[in-house]
Amino acid sequence: MEYQKIANEIRFFCADMVQEANSGHPGAPMGLADIAVILSQHISINPSEPHWINRDRLVFSGGHASALLYVLLYVWGYDISLQDLYDFRKINSKTPGHPEYKHTQGVEITTGPLGQGVANAVGFAMAAKRAQNILGKEIIDHKIYCFCGDGDLQEGVSYESCSLAGHHRLDNLILIYDSNNISIEGDIGIAFSENVRTRFEAQGFFVLEINGHNYNEIDFALQQAKKSEAPTLIIAKTKIAKNAYKLEGSHHAHGAPLGRDIIQESKKKLGLSPKTFYLSYDTKAYFTHVKLRGEQNYQEWQKKLQNSKRKNILESLLQKDHSSIVFPDFSKRYDETQQKINNYVTLHITNSMATRSSNAAILNAIAKANIGFMGGSADLGPSNNTTIIDSDDFPNGKNLHFGIREHAMGAISNAFANYGIFTPYCATFFAFSDYLSPSIRIASLMNAQIFYIFTHDSIGVGEDGATHQPIEQLSHFRAMPNLLNWRPADANENVCAWKNALKIKKPQTFILTRQNLPIIESPYITTDNVGKGAYIISPSQYTHITLTLLASGSEVSLAIKAQQKLESNNVATQVVSMPCYDLLIEQDEKYVKDLFKDSKVLGIEALRSFELYRYANDIICMQGFGASGKGNLLFEKFGFNVDNICNKAQSLL
């Protein structure tokens, strides 16, 4: 059967989906249909084993082309029914407006905002290179395909990620650029005129230019890309809404249904069946070879795996078992210089430690026990303390160097998490977390287990000033669903936080100090207590509690010092440490009642922290941005000191 008729049936099936939903984007799916038909001869997947580690990955960076992706998954043999295609963009369907990971079988990653998918594809290619280094080329030799468009390449994240792809010579990466010169506002020439070929060649890519509707050129380009020794960009010149009567090439076809009349006139002109949601027997038969070829490739791969000496390594990576980690014990490392607060709590002052420093020891302990635990920093490894000491750099080891590319770092980490055998972390200063916030949001949508190490957590940063002192960032992340944010009070609480975090399959941030903090010796710092999100770290000496000081991070030890003064003035005061606000709000009413009792609650965080009013009667927090100066003096300036806490408490009572 001729490719043209197959492609036309696919493109108008997509148009019917958008028309039925009365919502969506027909233009890109129709323009890419020809390439999709030929790609089906090259891609190696096995819908019967959708999580096969050596499958090719296909990423739609332009999630608005989802109609085409869903049709491909349907004809390739994934768990997508004809009814699912009828239900495109409807509530509770398997076919939402933009593809979502774990929601629809065969979708490799949630892309969402433009540019994310390009960076995700780079991340998949990097993950595959690391996997190949661990398991060998006979076990890992697949490719990463990515459809992207003009909008993806205009977003800065694509530049960041492709720069890294070229640097690492990722020859397993094939970007297919749907170059139709159309954006929502019209011709891309109104805002985009750079030479894309030259840009990618400068980044180290092998670049091909083809007619995206010429089947011989498409096939030849894919063959060349698979043999390339560098990452490949195929610039495919296409027409948006290809073969749509009157609307072909128009920006009006990007984000709205074509209209039933235009669809019917186009089908008639092309000699297609007037039926909606129609694929002929021959078209369906054409795509069955994808599944058959994939099953054969999978069986051949299984034979290689059974004969491989690294089979056990793959099994270990797939299990992601953290039970053998030997965590550092920070409670036995300190001398006699201490401050006794009550019968339960001691602050070790002289041998204090920044939580970024304790975190370094924890990361190395985890990495020592888990070959798939890996990550790195956006050029801040020595400051974030995120280097794995006894390991090489990517691809030979666990240390990733992202360069100063926070946005790409976040999206690449998403792909590492979804690859199937890795547990990734990435790091930067907390003030710079804004740069990777879009990727963290996508990770939260996917419930991907990624650890974000954010150091220099408050005005305690000091002399670098307000530009580097995060104020509102933690409140932003606390507002994000499915994201857990840990702000440990000291090294021991940090260990307990990690013990909990590794068991929770969600993205999680660790908000850590630059400055040293006293080590808190308390029998209440346990994994179970920390796992509740908040707990009484320093109880009152009195039976009936009048006041609760609620704090996190560096402010916990400050609250304990204030407690000592308040109790000496006969104010029955307890201190509640809140390492994870997000877990606290999940606790039942009884736990919260037992935690705060009938006391007045004063929240203390050197951040904006207005969300603490959920539990607190009043809070001591930042009312504006910070300033430049020594961290301890800034704490005094902005009221984070014992005297101000005591005065606030007295006013509250």
Catalytic residues: 406
| Number of Cα atoms under 13 Å in the Cβ half of residue 319 | 13
Kindly tell me the number of DSSP H helices and DSSP E strands found in the chain: 24, 21
Q: Please, are residues 506 and 447 in contact by the beta-carbon 8 Å criterion?
A: yes
Pairwise CA distance, residues 561 & 640, whole Å: 12
Token representation of residue 437 = 């916030």
Separation between Cα atoms, residue 345 and residue 497, nearest integer Å: 19
DSSP run (H or E) holding 334: none
Between the CA of residue 335 and those of 179, 345, 347, 362, 516, what are the distances in Å? 66, 16, 11, 21, 16
Would you call 191 exposed, middle or buried from its count of C-beta atoms within 10 A (0-12, 13-18, 19+)? exposed
What's the CA gap between 446 and 441, in Å, rounded? Answer: 9
The candidate with the shortest Cα–Cα distance to 375, out of 465, 243, 547, 510, is 510
495 burial level (CB within 10 Å; 0-12, 13-18, 19+): buried
* Torsion sign across C-alpha atoms 255, 260, 263, 265: negative
Residue that has been written with the tokens 């969300």 in this structure: 611
Q: What is the CA radius of gyration of the chain?
A: 28
Neighbours of 28 (CB within 10 A): 29
